[in-house]
Amino acid sequence: MNRTTKSLRYVLKRLAQGVPIIIAIIVLNFFLLHMAEGDAVDVLAGEAGSATPEYMAELRAKFGLDQPLPVQLAVYLKNVAVFDLGYSFRHDMPVSQLVLDRFWPTALLMVSTIILAIGFGILLGLIAATRLNTWKDSVISVFALITYATPLFWVGLMMIVVFSIHLRWFPTSGMENIAAFHEGWDRVVDIAHHLVLPTITLSLFYLALYTRLMRASMLEQYGQDYVVTARAKGLTDRRITYVHVLRNALLPVVTMAGVQVGALIGGSVIVESVFAWPGLGMLAFESLFARDLNLLLGIFLLSSILVVVVNLIVDVIYSLLDPRIEVS
């Protein structure tokens, strides 16, 4: 068997593993919907009775609430499969439409955060590991320890106090200055300007994580036999570090990036509600206040699926980069 069929087979295997997890999450979602007070339709209709009785009756029939539980579950699965997540009366929109609209700001925030956190995390970890037990190493380690222990919402608020209120460098909230009617390039710059503080806030925690991971990974690689070989054949320390050790040390950091996506979504709920960034997290915060439980369930479902998909993509990329992975 050549390598391409092998990796194709691996991709298919991982896909097959992802599907049952997604189905299990949908089933869990269904039971959470049932755990909520009252009948699922009350929840679906937004709890406040803002829905008309006709619509409630229609919903009951649609979700088959007079049917036994397994039938209800089947109907629910069918609805989710066509991405019908019910209706949000607070927003007067289907939940699926709402979560998809709000997905892109979150994606933008997450991608910029991952780039910043991994980039600087690798850099700081590298510096700490190559200058082991010097003041630089200590400063970086203390920095990582402290950011690891700081609640994100507090960092966000302190950022606003310092950089928005006192220094006036960045806006306090939102994604763009809508009143300014920016277009084209100006709009990109405006959004980027709004993106700075949320991104820094969200990346701090992961920055700490990747720094520690990168440092540990580098130290582990330094102990390997190939480093001794490289040294024996007379390579300089620089070359050993940057050509040999660095490349191998990067692998676990890349894997962690995939594993941490779930935590990143949790963090973005907090950061988005601090900076009023109009993404999924902000939507979750709003739905808490509006007591729009069905919307919250929709966000939960979408973010869980997102984690499965991202993990899958990371695994596949990883298997292409490092053929040894298939063995385990």
Partner 1 sequence: MLDFWRLYAKSPSAVFGLVVLIIVIILAAVASLIFPEDPFRLAGTPMSGPGENGFLLGSDTLGRDVAAGILHGAKTSLMIGLIATLAAVFIGIFMGALAGYYGGLIDDMLMRVTEIFQTIPSFVFAILLVAIMKPSIESIVIAITVVSWPGVARLVRGEFLSLKNREFVQACHTLGMGDFQIMMREILPNCLSPIIVIGSLMVATAILIESGLAFLGLGDPNIMSWGFQIGAGRTMLRSAWWVCTFPGLAILATVLAINLVGEGLNDALNPRLRDRN
* Chain residues that interact with partner 1, rule: CB under 8 A: 20-21, 24-25, 28, 32, 35-36, 145-146, 148-154, 157-158, 160-161, 165, 219, 261-263, 265-267, 269-270, 273-274, 284-285, 288-289, 291, 293, 296-297, 299-300, 303-304, 307-308, 311
Task: Compute the least distance from the CB of residue 4 to partner 1, in Å.
Answer: 28
- How far is 149 from 208, CA to CA, in rounded Å? 9
- List 93's β-bridge partners, or say none: 88
* H helix runs in the chain, sequence order: 3-35, 40-44, 53-63, 69-81, 95-130, 135-148, 152-159, 185-222, 225-232, 237-239, 246-259, 261-275, 280-290, 293-321
Using a 10 angstrom Cβ sphere, with 0-12 exposed, 13-18 middle and 19 or more buried, the burial of residue 180 is: exposed
Phi and psi at 168, nearest 5°, equal 55, 35
Task: Compute the least distance from the CB of residue 291 to partner 1, in Å.
Answer: 8
From the CB of residue 302, how many other CB atoms can be counted at a distance below 10 Å? 20
- How far is 81 from 245, CA to CA, in rounded Å? 46
Q: Which is nearer to partner 1, 189 or 263 (CB)?
A: 263
**Residue 48 CB contacts under 8 Å (≥ 6 apart), including other chains:** 89, 291
Task: Compute the least distance from the CB of residue 32 to partner 1, in Å.
Answer: 6
- How far is 27 from 77, CA to CA, in rounded Å? 8
Task: Compute the least distance from the CB of residue 25 to partner 1, in Å.
Answer: 6
Task: Compute the least distance from the CB of residue 24 to partner 1, in Å.
Answer: 5
Using a 10 angstrom Cβ sphere, with 0-12 exposed, 13-18 middle and 19 or more buried, the burial of residue 314 is: middle
Task: Compute the least distance from the CB of residue 211 to partner 1, in Å.
Answer: 15
Q: Which is nearer to partner 1, 253 or 310 (CB)?
A: 310
Q: Which is nearer to partner 1, 165 or 189 (CB)?
A: 165
Q: Which is nearer to partner 1, 74 or 165 (CB)?
A: 165
Task: Compute the least distance from the CB of residue 310 to partner 1, in Å.
Answer: 10
Q: Which is nearer to partner 1, 36 or 196 (CB)?
A: 36
**Residue 127 CB contacts under 8 Å (≥ 6 apart), including other chains:** 136, 137, 140
- How far is 243 from 241, CA to CA, in rounded Å? 6
Q: Which is nearer to partner 1, 172 or 235 (CB)?
A: 172
Q: Which is nearer to partner 1, 145 or 320 (CB)?
A: 145
**Residue 126 CB contacts under 8 Å (≥ 6 apart), including other chains:** 214, 218, 241, 246
Q: Which is nearer to partner 1, 71 or 146 (CB)?
A: 146
Task: Compute the least distance from the CB of residue 181 to partner 1, in Å.
Answer: 27
